[in-house]
């Protein structure tokens, strides 16, 4: 869930009022401390044939063969899938709800990147955590379990490459805490927890990490962060011991200890920020991992993947690297360059300027890939030409190319490949091509932006089963196939 700088006046007023209400109550708080898979056959090299039943996730967990194969590997799972640490007691959102919330996130990202008039200027040891997807965020996000405090308490956090600040709900929940499945973190029971003072450089860094200026409760630094769907967290800024694995422990890890947390967060315990800011987990662990991390997002939701910090020499043999770009107005985000798209092995006729006008970011929190209008139109046209044997049906939210497959046992779909800078060809897994509400509404899992100047986003449905490697220091982004197996 991407943090939004609250620049619109009404939003600023809202969060400011939240700060004031939270601060008045915090002062009295006393402590120091998607779908797919099931490929049946491949009649041609440029098509996938899928069983219709595979469009629904299994109720049995199928763990990644890689998640425990490397020292320090962390498991990634889907929030509503059977691989989650706790049985899911919350009603999962419908496919339409997921897509609606996803659009809220995208709107927030695009506002943030359009706020600066120069937004189109792009410049060019180890530990693994398993990753799980949490759709209650409305963004199909993925969950990892980390340890915090001394003694360690296990927390299930959404990891997000579009956010910087790590936070979790904390006792005594001075204002409001939403329902979560793990016990709420109690800093008074951790021997290593410390509040961060207002007059420190670390407190000042919250402005760039959250988009909001920090406040003070007495001498204690108070953070506030709001997301694209108007969810928010406000609380004390503190440090404690972060445990990724028994051999990967970091003291004095900066995080938000939430005392007023409201919105679409139900079920998980907070967020692990993997952006580029100095307060992100990537930067805070750089002394050991060198700003190098990778993940594989599982498909379907009944399987698991991993999140890993550091190099391990065990990368997929198909790993290819494209230049990792940065945007001056969106320093949190990881940018890359799309140069072409292929459907059924054929390169679409799209001018390079279509992709370069607004640029593209890769985001673990956005569900559906967003493309410039001209690129999406070309993709949709080519896909529909390959799917004429199947009846079209009504659109599903932002997805306008949908089919009624209720009378079919299998479906044959064309392959889709993205070509990134450096001629890096990345085949999209079959699970990243279709998004199903039901067998009678199965849609092309891509959407077009409203205008050519809105940033493109390579979303998590299209990243499923890929090994995605972020070599931030080296300035490159890697992709490998069959990353979870």
Catalytic residue among 102, 240, 248, 363: 363
* 404 among known catalytic residues: no
Peptide bond into 172 cis (omega under 30): yes
Cross-strand partners of 424: 420
Q: How many residues does the chain have?
A: 485
The answer to whether 362 touches 391, Cβ cutoff 8 Å, is: no
Selecting among 102, 160, 229, 240, the annotated active-site residue is: 160
d(CA 71, CA 77): 18
CB 95 within 8 A of CB 435: yes
d(CA 396, CA 402): 7
State the Cα–Cα distance between residues 278 and 159, nearest whole angstrom.
16
Q: Are 229 and 22 in contact (CB under 8 A)?
A: no
Which distant-in-sequence residues (6+ apart) come within 8 Å of 277 by Cβ? Answer: 164, 165, 205, 208, 209, 283, 331, 332
Burial per residue of 315-338, b for 16 or more beta-carbon CB atoms within 10 angstroms, e otherwise: ebeebbbbbbbbbeebebbbbbbb
Separation between Cα atoms, residue 156 and residue 22, nearest integer Å: 24
d(CA 322, CA 423) in angstroms, rounded, equals 8
Q: Is 164 considered catalytic here?
A: no
Which sequence positions are flagged as catalytic? 160, 363
């Amino acid at each position: 869930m991407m943090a939004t700088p609250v620049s619109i006046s009404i939003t600023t007023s809202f969060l400011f009022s939240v700060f004031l209400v939270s601060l008045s109550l915090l002062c009295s708080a006393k402590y120091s401390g998607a779908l797919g898979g099931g490929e049946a056959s491949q009649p041609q090299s440029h098509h996938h044939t899928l069983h219709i039943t595979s469009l629904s996730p299994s109720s049995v967990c199928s763990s990644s063969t890689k998640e425990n194969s490397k020292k320090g590997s962390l498991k990634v799972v889907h929030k509503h899938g059977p691989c989650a640490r706790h049985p899911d007691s919350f009603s999962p959102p419908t496919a339409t709800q997921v897509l609606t919330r996803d659009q809220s996130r995208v709107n927030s990202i695009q506002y943030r990147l359009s706020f600066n008039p120069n937004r189109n200027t792009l410049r060019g040891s180890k530990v693994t955590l398993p990753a799980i997807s949490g759709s209650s965020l409305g963004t199909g996000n993925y969950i990892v379990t980390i340890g915090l405090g001394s003694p360690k308490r296990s927390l299930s956090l959404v990891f997000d490459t579009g956010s910087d600040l790590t936070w979790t709900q904390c006792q005594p929940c001075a204002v409001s805490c939403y329902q979560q499945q793990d016990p709420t973190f109690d800093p008074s029971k951790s021997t290593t927890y410390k509040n961060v003072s207002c007059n420190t450089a670390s407190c000042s860094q919250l402005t760039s990490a959250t988009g909001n200026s920090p406040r003070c409760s007495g001498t204690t630094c108070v953070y506030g962060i709001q997301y694209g769907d108007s969810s928010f967290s406000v609380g004390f800024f503190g440090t404690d011991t972060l445990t990724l694995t028994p051999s990967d422990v970091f003291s004095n890890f900066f995080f938000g200890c939430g005392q007023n947390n409201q919105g679409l967060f139900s079920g998980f315990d907070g967020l692990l920020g993997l952006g580029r800011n100095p307060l992100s987990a990537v930067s805070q662990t750089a002394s050991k991992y060198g700003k190098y991390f990778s993940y594989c997002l599982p498909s379907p939701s009944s399987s698991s993947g991993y999140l890993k910090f550091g190099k391990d020499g065990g990368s997929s043999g198909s790993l290819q690297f494209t230049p990792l770009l940065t945007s001056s107005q969106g320093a949190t985000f990881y940018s890359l360059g799309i140069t072409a798209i292929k459907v059924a092995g054929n390169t679409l006729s799209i001018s390079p300027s279509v992709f370069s006008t607004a640029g593209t970011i890769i985001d673990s929190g956005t569900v559906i890939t967003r493309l410039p209008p001209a690129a999406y139109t070309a993709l949709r046209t080519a896909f529909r030409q390959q799917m004429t044997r199947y009846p079209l049906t009504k659109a599903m939210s932002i997805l306008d190319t949908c089919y009624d497959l209720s009378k079919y046992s299998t479906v044959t779909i064309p392959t889709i490949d993205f070509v990134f800078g450096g001629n890096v060809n990345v085949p999209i897994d079959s699970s990243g091509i279709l998004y199903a509400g039901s067998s009678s509404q199965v849609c092309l899992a891509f959407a077009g932006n409203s205008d050519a100047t809105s940033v493109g986003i390579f979303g998590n449905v299209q990243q499923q089963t890929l090994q995605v490697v972020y070599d931030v220091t080296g300035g490159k982004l890697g992709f490998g196939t069959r990353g979870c197996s």
